[in-house]
Structure 1
């Protein structure tokens, strides 16, 4: 089972945006800046934090299922970036925090596998923070994928 949200069409309606300090978030629609499709999101912070997140339906998983999540990020400056997965009670299921180098390309950020047993929805969020230097990153192509072994099926983009 695969859940994707690439900011396309009505998918925009399902993104929740939160900020602290001077953080800001938004969408770029039809500007040619997306990793795939027409649209992408972006995060900015210089004295605070910013995040964009969305719920992913993972119905149909079983006790032996495993899931992982992936998002593509394109930083304007070198920065620390996090992809986090939460359950509906606020428990963190996965956290992929990594340093991204500004190289002009989108880079995949993936979580380790986690157990979806007992959950029908999870919240996936992309997060940056900065306290001193301006940081901006584009985000696109969120995928939450679940399978029945330690190697979830890879999603295909249309």
Structure 2
């Protein structure tokens, strides 16, 4: 998936709370214009016979309708008063020149890289990232996301999510948010079992303030005594604002 930055405004009566405290982000597909929190409502495209014959529904149109419905649901009445609410959404699926956008660092001979044109390693598309750590070490990938279009707006709150695939029995992984001055704005550490499937990690909501860009950082730790590797794919970053 190429990186995409989308910003829109919607008139909706809303309160002061824009994001659920633990927003479960949905999967990101190449045909989706916006990442949403309600991906479990998406169904596969089918042909259904009827009185007027078969009706073919395009996957692209359905994806757009679901995205619109999701935004409207998130911006539903949660309080009193009327204001103009907006959404900024950024997506990256490692599909186009990931080495120019993602930076990598590590310790104790740990590091990371990219799986290019290997669909079997990716969650969607052809590419993905990876991190590999040695026992006692750590490694991270991070990407800088521009937020100038919503910076300084009142009550702007943001959240991020990415899909990971742990390749060993047990690994500790953190998702972190940093600003350009080296301040950590958010961190969530979780332990994940090895799996044949991708698993999603995400942040709670946090306040953007006047920052014009932030870094989303994914850290793999070799603290379980065995090291290991994780794969990464389908980053989603969203901010909601009033005004």
Fold conserved (TM > 0.5)? yes
1:42 equivalenced with 2:133 (yes/no): no
- Relative to total residues, which structure has the larger strand share, 1 or 2? 1
SS of equivalent residue, structure 2 residue 226:
strand
Which stretches in structure 2 are left out of the alignment for 5+ residues?
1-87
SS of equivalent residue, structure 2 residue 227:
strand
Name which one, 1 or 2, has greater alpha-carbon Rg.
2
- Relative to total residues, which structure has the larger helix share, 1 or 2? 2
RMSD: 1.3
Quick check: 1:28–1:42 contact (8 Å CA) kept in 2?
yes
SS of equivalent residue, structure 2 residue 114:
strand
Following TM superposition, where does structure 1 have runs of at least 4 consecutive aligned residues deviating by more than 3 angstroms? none
Tell me, in whole angstroms, the C-alpha distance in 1 between the residues paired with 2:194 and 2:133.
16
Higher relative contact order (CA 8 A, sep 6+): 1
- TM-score, scaled to structure 1: 0.89
Q: Deviations over 1:65-115 (max 9, x none)?
A: 100010100001121101100011111111121111212111110001011
Quick check: 1:79–1:135 contact (8 Å CA) kept in 2?
yes
147, 172, 181: which is aligned to 1:89? 181
Quick check: 1:84–1:94 contact (8 Å CA) kept in 2?
yes
State the partner residue of 1:145: 238
State the partner residue of 1:104: 196
- Select between 63-72 and 8-17 the one with higher mean Cα deviation: 8-17
SS of equivalent residue, structure 1 residue 8:
coil
Which stretches in structure 1 are left out of the alignment for 5+ residues?
150-158
- TM-score, scaled to structure 2: 0.59
